[in-house]
C-alpha cells in the first residue's frame, strides 16, 4: 500500500523541467510500449483553498466513467492521501503520497523526479489508466507545475482568502489552463464580491476559463468535471492510433 512507502524526494539529481517543444507533454504522449499514457492534470493553489476537496469530488464524479489515480504532495505528512483513503474516493492502490520534505513548489516545478516516479508507478500498476490527478502541496500564488510533469493544470483559490486575489495575479492565476474560485457559499459571510472577482480574473486571463465552485453542494464540482472530461476527450483523439 502506497501510504506505507511514500515516495520521498531524491537528492541525487535534478530532472530537466524544460517543456518539450510543441506543447505540454508533447515529447512523451505514449508509453514505451506505444500504448496511450494517462492524461496528467495538476491541481495547485494556496493551502486550504480546496484542492483535496476538489480531487475527492472529481474522483467521485468521474470514477465510473474513467480509470483514475491520484498523487498527493505534502511537505512532511501524508494527510491528503490519508483523507482520500478515508473517504474511499478510489481504491487504495490508486492513491500515492509524495512527501516533498521541502518547498512544495520545488517538487512540482524544479525537481519533479519523485512526482514523475509516482505517476509512472501508478501507470504501471493500474492498467489502462485514463487520468492521473496530481495535487501540489499548498503553496503561494507563484507555484505552477512543470510541463514535464502534467499536461494541464488547474489553479484553485477561494473567496474567503480575499476577493482581491484575482487582481493580484501571479503565474497560477494568469496562466493555469483553468482557474477555479472555490467556496462561493462563504461569499456572503466574508463580504466577497464575486462579480469583481470574475472581472479581475477575466482581465488577468484573457480567454482562459474561470469557474466558480462550492463543494458544499452535491454537484458543486460538475463544471470542473465537465472541463476535465473535455480534456480527456481531446487527449484520446490526440493520442489515438
Ligand X SMILES: Nc1nc2c(ncn2[C@@H]2O[C@H](COP(=O)(O)OP(=O)(O)O)[C@@H](O)[C@H]2O)c(=O)[nH]1
180, 147 Cβ separation under 8 angstroms: no
Q: Give 123 or 139: the residue with its C-beta nearer to Mg ion.
A: 139
By CB under 6 A, is residue 183 in contact with ligand X?
Answer: yes
Measured from the CB of residue 219, what is the shortest distance to Mg ion in angstroms? 21
For the chain, give me the number of helices (H) and strands (E)?
9, 8
Torsions phi, psi for 214 (to 5 deg):
-135, 115
160, 50 Cβ separation under 8 angstroms: no
Measured from the CB of residue 118, what is the shortest distance to ligand X in angstroms? 17
Site string for ligand X, 48-77 (x = CB under 6 A): xxxxxx------------------------
106, 15 Cβ separation under 8 angstroms: no
3-state secondary structure of 218: coil
Q: Give 108 or 200: the residue with its C-beta nearer to Mg ion.
A: 108
Measured from the CB of residue 186, what is the shortest distance to ligand X in angstroms? 5
Helix (H) or strand (E) holding 82: helix 79-86
209-231 in b/e form (b: 16+ CB < 10 A) is ebbbbbbeeeebbeebbebbeeb
Q: Give 80 or 99: the residue with its C-beta nearer to Mg ion.
A: 80
122, 91 Cβ separation under 8 angstroms: no
* Residues lying near Mg ion in the complex (CB under 5 A): 51-52, 80
If contact means CB under 5 to 8 A according to the sort of partner, which of Mg ion, ligand X, none does residue 171 touch? none
Torsions phi, psi for 36 (to 5 deg):
-70, 130
Smallest CA-to-CA distance from 56 within 180, 221, 231 is with 221
If contact means CB under 5 to 8 A according to the sort of partner, which of Mg ion, ligand X, none does residue 216 touch? ligand X
Interatomic CA distance for residues 221 and 216, integer angstroms: 9
Q: Give 52 or 204: the residue with its C-beta nearer to ligand X.
A: 52
Measured from the CB of residue 83, what is the shortest distance to ligand X in angstroms? 7
Measured from the CB of residue 212, what is the shortest distance to Mg ion in angstroms? 20
The three three-digit cell numbers of residue 237, written as one number: 483523439
Q: Give 134 or 204: the residue with its C-beta nearer to Mg ion.
A: 134
By CB under 6 A, is residue 190 in contact with ligand X?
Answer: no
Which of positions 194-233 make contact with ligand X (CB under 6 A)?
Answer: 214-216
Q: Give 132 or 181: the residue with its C-beta nearer to ligand X.
A: 181
Which of positions 22-51 make contact with ligand X (CB under 6 A)?
Answer: 45, 47-51
If contact means CB under 5 to 8 A according to the sort of partner, which of Mg ion, ligand X, none does residue 215 touch? ligand X
| Residues forming the site for ligand X (CB under 6 A) | 45, 47-53, 138, 182-183, 185-186, 214-216
Amino acid at each position: 500500500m502506497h501510504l506505507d512507502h511514500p515516495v520521498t524526494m531524491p537528492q541525487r539529481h535534478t530532472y530537466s523541467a524544460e517543456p518539450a517543444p510543441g506543447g505540454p507533454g508533447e515529447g512523451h504522449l505514449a508509453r514505451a510500449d506505444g500504448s496511450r499514457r494517462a492524461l496528467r492534470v495538476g491541481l495547485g493553489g494556496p493551502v486550504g483553498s480546496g484542492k483535496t476537496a476538489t480531487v475527492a469530488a472529481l474522483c467521485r464524479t468521474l470514477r465510473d466513467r474513467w480509470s483514475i489515480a491520484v498523487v498527493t504532495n505534502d511537505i512532511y505528512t501524508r494527510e491528503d492521501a490519508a483523507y482520500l483513503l478515508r473517504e474511499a474516493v478510489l481504491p487504495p492502490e490508486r492513491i500515492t503520497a509524495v512527501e516533498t520534505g521541502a518547498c512544495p513548489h520545488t517538487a512540482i516545478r524544479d525537481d519533479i523526479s519523485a512526482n514523475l516516479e509516482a505517476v509512472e508507478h501508478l501507470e504501471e500498476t493500474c492498467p489502462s489508466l485514463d487520468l492521473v490527478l496530481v495535487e501540489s502541496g499548498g503553496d503561494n500564488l507563484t507555484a505552477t507545475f512543470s510541463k514535464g510533469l502534467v499536461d494541464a493544470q488547474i489553479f484553485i483559490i477561494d473567496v474567503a482568502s480575499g476577493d482581491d486575489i484575482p487582481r493580484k495575479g501571479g503565474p497560477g492565476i494568469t496562466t493555469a489552463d483553468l482557474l477555479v474560485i472555490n467556496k462561493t457559499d462563504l461569499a456572503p459571510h466574508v463580504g466577497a464580491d464575486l462579480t469583481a472577482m470574475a472581472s479581475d480574473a477575466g482581465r488577468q486571463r484573457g480567454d482562459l476559463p474561470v469557474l466558480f465552485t462550492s463543494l458544499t453542494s452535491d454537484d458543486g464540482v460538475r463544471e470542473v468535471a465537465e472541463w476535465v472530461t473535455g480534456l480527456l476527450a481531446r487527449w484520446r483523439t490526440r493520442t489515438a492510433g
